[in-house]
């Protein structure tokens, strides 16, 4: 009977749109869905990237990218250019039911590749796993969004449009909209709406939270625009010698448009097979770290990845941030395969972090035990959340 129930839940998840699965009335707050037009301009490039229009080409792309003798993408630029446009970004804004001294602090959370914003707010055992629900319980407002090319946001050309610098600029624009109250005005016009929104005109402080690729983008954002953040939580990412060494072939990619199930994507979007989801996101003691249901759920909500996003990563990795004066926490999973080669203990380099953000108020690192890359889909998720909330509180956030 239990297995039939799990199967029914997963079938509902697979057949639902990201914009329809989140409940409005939460245990600890209220959430509303938004579609926000965001104008952004960023440097971009046309790269020499193998075409991906079927499964064979998807796997060939991964192997070619992993091959040691393949030139880096900084050496494969055909033409430097600029990308400008207005992009529809799907988002969720949540406000706590019971306001406290943190009521005016807004978290902006950016998810990584292979997932959409549901990574922060899994429906599976939401009370125990959802970072959104935990934040509401702690008294924070929280804004999550589907990055460009993902979920219910626009899905432009996978080669020449969806690139890392543009995503950083979209995060900047969303932050500016939060700080000047535009996001709250959008939310008040959305359906359903709730009276708690009328009590907040704009946040007094903004904390940026990232996971994996979302942490790469968040790190670049706080480096370039340090005055726009009051604190940063970097999860599932730190520069080190093992970063990405497992390679893209470990993802087990398919061509998204013809995968099973297929996704409504054009050329250049790839998606993990279930084995790739397990390789990247799940780790720790197989009896205690996560459940079969968590792995099944992690596969059920997976999302395609545009190859241009990865080609342009070098643009935003390791940017220096002398303007950042806010506190930063690095939250690492003990057994993160893709980030730390399977063992994050001893990986964090405090000297390198301080050199990157020389004026940060403080920089701390914490290793969440018995956890893999997908923090929110492991059994001790809430324990890690509390470490983050304690860090924020100690720093006046």
Mean of pLDDT over the chain = 91
Residue 17 vs residue 373, higher pLDDT: 373
Cα(140)–Cα(93) distance, integer angstroms:
11
Q: Are 206 and 106 in contact (CB under 8 A)?
A: yes
Q: Model's pTM, two decimal places?
A: 0.93
Query: Taking Cα atoms as reference points, which of 141, 177, 124 lies closest to residue 132?
Result: 141
Residue 11 vs residue 301, higher pLDDT: 301
Q: How does 69-82 read in b/e, with b if 16+ C-beta sit within 10 Å?
A: eeeebeeeeeeeee
List, in order of start, the domains of the chain with CATH numbers: 19-47+79-242+316-394 (3.40.50.1820)
Both tokens of 26, joined, read 């939460």
For tokens 């909330």, what's the residue? 389
What would the pLDDT profile of 274-324 be if each residue is shown by its tens digit? 999 999 999 999 999 999 999 999 999 999 999 999 999 999 999 999 999
Number of Cβ atoms within 10 Å of the Cβ of 15? 8
Give the pLDDT band (50/70/90) at residue 190: confident
Query: Taking Cα atoms as reference points, which of 274, 25, 269, 314 lies closest to residue 151?
Result: 269
How many residues does this entry show for the chain? 397
What pLDDT was estimated at residue 18? 41
- Per-residue pLDDT for 204 more than 60? yes
What pLDDT was estimated at residue 188? 85
CA 6 to the chain's CA centroid: 26
Mean pLDDT of 48-57: 96
Q: Are 173 and 40 in contact (CB under 8 A)?
A: yes
State the burial class of residue 319 (Cβ atoms within 10 Å of its Cβ: 0-12, 13-18, 19+): middle
- Per-residue pLDDT for 16 more than 70? no
Residue 15 vs residue 108, higher pLDDT: 108
Residue 274 vs residue 7, higher pLDDT: 274
Please, which residues bridge with residue 232 across strands? 208, 328
What pLDDT was estimated at residue 23? 55
Give the pLDDT band (50/70/90) at residue 41: very high
What pLDDT was estimated at residue 93? 94
- Per-residue pLDDT for 3 more than 50? no
SS3 readout for the chain: CHHHHHHHHHHHHHHCCCCCCCCCECCCEEEEEEEEEEEEEEEEEEECCCCCCCHHHHHHHHHHHHCCCCCCHHHCEEEEEEEEEEEEEEEEEEEECCCCCCCCEEEEEECCCCCCHHHHCCCCCHHHHCHHHHHHHHCCEEEEECCCCCCCCCCCCCCCCCCHHHHHHHHHHHHHHHHCCHHHHHHHHCCCCCHHHHHCCCCCEEEEEEECHHHHHHHHHHHHCHHHCCEEEEECCCCCCCCCCCCHHHHCEEEHHHCCCCCCCCCCEEEECHHHHHHHHCCCCCCCCCCHHHHHHHHHCCCCEEHHHHHCHHHCCCCCCCCCCCCEEEEEECCCHHHHCCCCCCCCCHHHHHHHCCCCCCEEEEEECCCCCCHHHCCCHHHHHHHHHHHHHHCCC
What would the pLDDT profile of 343-378 be if each residue is shown by its tens digit? 999 999 999 999 999 999 999 999 999 999 999 999
Query: Taking Cα atoms as reference points, which of 293, 28, 262, 307 lies closest to residue 162?
Result: 307
Cα(140)–Cα(134) distance, integer angstroms:
9
């Amino acid at each position: 009977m239990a297995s039939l129930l799990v199967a029914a839940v997963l079938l509902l998840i697979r057949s639902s749109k990201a914009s329809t699965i989140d409940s409005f009335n939460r245990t600890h707050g209220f959430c509303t869905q938004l579609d926000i037009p965001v104008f952004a301009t960023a440097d971009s490039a046309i790269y020499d990237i193998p075409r991906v229009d079927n499964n064979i080409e998807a796997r060939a792309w991964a192997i070619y990218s992993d091959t040691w003798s393949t030139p880096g993408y900084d050496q494969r630029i055909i033409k430097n250019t600029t990308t400008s446009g207005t992009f529809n970004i799907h988002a969720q804004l949540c406000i706590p039911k019971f306001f406290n001294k943190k009521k005016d602090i807004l978290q902006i959370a950016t998810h990584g590749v292979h997932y959409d914003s549901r990574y922060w707010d899994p429906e599976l055992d939401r009370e125990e796993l959802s970072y959104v629900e935990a934040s509401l319980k702690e008294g924070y407002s929280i804004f999550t969004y589907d990055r460009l090319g993902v979920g219910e946001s626009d899905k432009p050309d996978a080669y020449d449009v969806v690139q890392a610098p543009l995503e950083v600029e979209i995060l900047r624009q969303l932050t500016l909209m939060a700080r000047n109250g535009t996001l709250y005005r959008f939310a008040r016009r959305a359906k359903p709406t709730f009276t708690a929104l009328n009590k907040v005109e704009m946040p007094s402080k903004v904390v940026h939270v990232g996971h994996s690729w979302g942490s790469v983008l968040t790190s670049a954002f706080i480096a370039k625009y340090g005055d726009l953040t009051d604190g940063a939580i970097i999860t599932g990412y730190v520069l080190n010698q093992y970063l990405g060494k497992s390679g893209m072939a470990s993802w087990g990619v398919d061509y998204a448009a013809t995968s099973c199930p297929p996704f409504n994507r054009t050329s250049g979007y790839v998606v993990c097979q279930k084995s790739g989801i397990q390789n990247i996101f799940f780790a720790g003691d197989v009896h205690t770290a996560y459940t079969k249901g968590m792995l099944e759920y992690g596969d059920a909500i997976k999302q395609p990845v545009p190859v241009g996003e990865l080609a342009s990563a070098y643009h935003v990795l390791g940017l220096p941030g002398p303007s950042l004066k806010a506190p930063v926490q690095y939250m690492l999973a003990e057994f993160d395969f893709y980030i730390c080669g399977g063992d994050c203990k001893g990986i964090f380099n405090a000297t390198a972090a301080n050199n990157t953000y020389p004026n940060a108020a403080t920089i701390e690192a914490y290793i969440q035990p018995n956890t893999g890359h997908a923090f929110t889909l492991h059994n001790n998720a809430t324990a890690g959340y509390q470490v983050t909330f304690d860090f924020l509180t100690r720093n006046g956030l």
